[in-house]
Amino acid sequence: MSTRNFSAPTPRADAPRTPAPRTTVPRLYEDVGAQPVPAPASRPDRRGVHLVGDGIDVGVYSSRATRVDLCLVDVAPDGSLTERRHSLRGPVHGVWHGHVPGVRAGQRYGLRVHGPWSPPRGQRHNPAKLLLDPYARGIAGTTRLTPAVYAHVVGEDLAPVDGTGSPDPRDSAADVAHAVVVDDRFDGAVPSPRTPWRDTVIYEAHVRGLTMTLPGVPDRLRGTYAGLAHPATIDHLRSLGVTAVELLPIHAKMDEPHLVAKGLTNYWGYNTLGFLAPEPSYATAAARAAGPAAVLAEVKGMVALLHAAGIEVLLDVVYNHTCEGGVAGPSVSWRGLDSSGYYLHDDHDRGRMLDMTGCGNTLDLRRTEVVRMVLDSLRYWASEVGVDGFRYDLAVTLGRNADQFTAYHPLLVALATDPVLREVKHVAEPWDLGPDGWRTGQFAAPVAEWNDRFRDAVRTFWLADPGAAAKGGSGRDLRDLATRLSGSADMFGYGQVPGGRGPHASISYVTAHDGFTLADLVAYEHKDNSANLEDNRDGTVDNRSWNHGAEGPVPSDSPAADVLPLRRRSIRNLLGTLLLSPGTPMLTAGDEIGRTQRGNNNSYSQDNATSYLDWNLGRWREDLLATTRHLLRLRREQPVLRPERFYTGRVADGDRVPDLAWLDADAREMGAHRWHDPRVRVLQMLRSGGGGHADVLVVLSSSLDYESVRLPEGRGVDLELAWSSEWESPSYAEAEQDRDPWSLTAAPGEVVLLAPLSMRLYLAGGERTGPAGDG
């Protein structure tokens, strides 16, 4: 093990100061006895490791270190490790840097940092720990949670021996993942489809779960980046009608100690080990064997193939915390580099970390270096990997100045002004666990937001209220539901420009990766997270679900089987409301085929069949898939379903009907007394197509009884029934039209009978879309 010193000797404090000579031999070469020939200059303004000329340039931020060593790690055939250490120059504004000749792509490396050990001051430098470069673009190996990976002394149970007070002397190199020098050139990029927001439909999926059992995907590709871009997967996405996949985190990750102790893993991946490196375990075995460059190439290939199919790729990213946990957590990167420089600490007690995320630590976005790290990561994934946007986990943390949130935080402003990032999509999860953490509707352009109020209002109308009524209770009035179905102007209609961000800033959803699946919402009133081994304490209890009278699975030959048709109709109601409303809809992978997690509403640790999509479709699941395709086709073909501006409720110049009208079951305008009456369970939503396109009427009834509904006069033209949640499949419409061409047509003012818990979509006038079915 050799050490090369790249930094000039530190002069004694009492040494006399002498003028610097006009020319000097670079310390880089003088210290190693090399000839004083010109050398490529390293760049302290650039972070990470980059191939340059005859070697690599290195730059790492560690503002309180007294010395930083780049450690080139070599693995012998027997698995033993050797290191070649090179002390970097610096610091320059906190950055240690150097140029190391002779290093090529594929070289493993890490960092060892010397400096103060002072836990009360938030400083935990320990050169016995080999640290991962925060800018690593490739990672080899995995981190094993042994006592050696902790900077402080812990026991075999990984609990602190003396309250994290003493530095641990054990070398961690054999137990941690290593950064790898990567040549990330790629010649197969395909331009982004750049789908406009008005046409965007998001499909939230997990790389593994989507294809682990998907027919047509070869076994060797299942659950991988390559599998996600396989023709069988793309065929499903395209036939469904989605325009973007939003992937749960694919940044390199690490399992939490409490999961490892239980023999579980962090399946979802919200525990980031590296912000620029892809997670290796999602790559094919061939790519993993070939090394990190091949893993990265597989990710880029996935993006290219999806682009070629017209599908955008959004990444779920976690910049609010890291995998190192709280003060008692392991030291694998940022903690050992500069804990108080990267993490948010209590200004009055520097040894205490503040937790706005529920994960033990919070990245300190007040600090320029942390903001830079996030922006560098985003730019890399957008410009080099080619992704089309990002969904920000616990995004409120990214806009905090310690405990105060602002939508105009420098990081959030950069999303609108950076020449790379302003060209991609941005979606916020608009809450965190800090003070005043719920901020839905409070971000600024160009950020769109998950609209949890849409989710809650739709679940309440279709499930919670009828469930309460079935037990003799009462529900809520319809004011909030109408606000959500019209685009949530109360939250997204304001901003620095008139009209705010528009309806598309609302990412409308009914389910997501966390919580019940769509099929479980209609089958469970109580979560069953026992498989997570947390005594069912984890996961939300605010599900707003309804089991329709029987909890969990109901066999078709069971005495309770009469709930099954109603459950299926409720699923169609939820889907129809989502896909036919203004805003940007997000569909959770598997909901289109009735996926169940058997009551688990927090499957973050279930890397198994609980979380994987089951592609063995029975009849009702095939019908549900056909229904989803039909609804998305209607959305695609009817512009009035995708408004770019909020409604006014007034008649536009040249039109005859308001852009939006709310009507009761008698086709009368909803009055104040009706809006405030929780007994009102029928609502009609009439939207104008402006004369050039079809008007759209959506009729909703969450009544437990049949309801007579008078259709509005509108423009005085017939209405065509384009879809009804009473249909098990859109093929029903085709059969009806074949039997009687007028069976799906209603006259203005005609009274129709709606089944309990059902909704309908009518089209009137304007451009017609052809047969109501998909045939």
Average pLDDT, rounded, for the chain: 92
- ∠ at Cα 580 (579, 584), nearest 5°? 55
Q: What is the pLDDT of residue 395?
A: 98
**pLDDT, average across residues 91-104:** 96
Give yes or no for residue 769 having a pLDDT over 50. no
Q: What is the pLDDT of residue 15?
A: 36
Per-residue pLDDT of 749-765, as tens digits, reads 999 999 999 999 999 99
Per-residue pLDDT of 693-721, as tens digits, reads 999 999 999 999 999 999 999 999 999 99
Per-residue pLDDT of 594-649, as tens digits, reads 999 999 999 999 999 999 999 999 999 999 999 999 999 999 999 999 999 999 99
Burial of 650 (0-12, 13-18, 19+ CB in 10 A): exposed
What single-letter amino acid sits at 649?
Answer: G
Q: What is the pLDDT of residue 12?
A: 33
Band of residue 733 on the pLDDT scale cut at 50, 70, 90: confident
- If one compares 147 and 37, the residue with the highest pLDDT of the two is 147
Give yes or no for residue 108 having a pLDDT over 80. yes
Q: What is the pLDDT of residue 30?
A: 28
Band of residue 163 on the pLDDT scale cut at 50, 70, 90: confident
Cβ proximity of 214 and 233 under 8 Å:
yes
User: What CA–CA distance (Å, rounded) separates 246 from 217?
Assistant: 20
Instruction: Give the number of other Cβ atoms within 10 Å of residue 74's Cβ.
Output: 11
**pLDDT, average across residues 455-466:** 98
pTM of the predicted protein model: 0.93
Q: What is the pLDDT of residue 164?
A: 75
Q: What is the pLDDT of residue 732?
A: 85
Give yes or no for residue 32 having a pLDDT over 80. no
User: What CA–CA distance (Å, rounded) separates 605 from 682?
Assistant: 41
3-class secondary structure, 204: strand
Cβ proximity of 566 and 546 under 8 Å:
no
Catalytic residues: 393, 429
Give yes or no for residue 24 having a pLDDT over 70. no
**Closest listed residue to residue 166, CA positions, set 219, 128, 196:** 128
Q: What is the pLDDT of residue 385?
A: 98
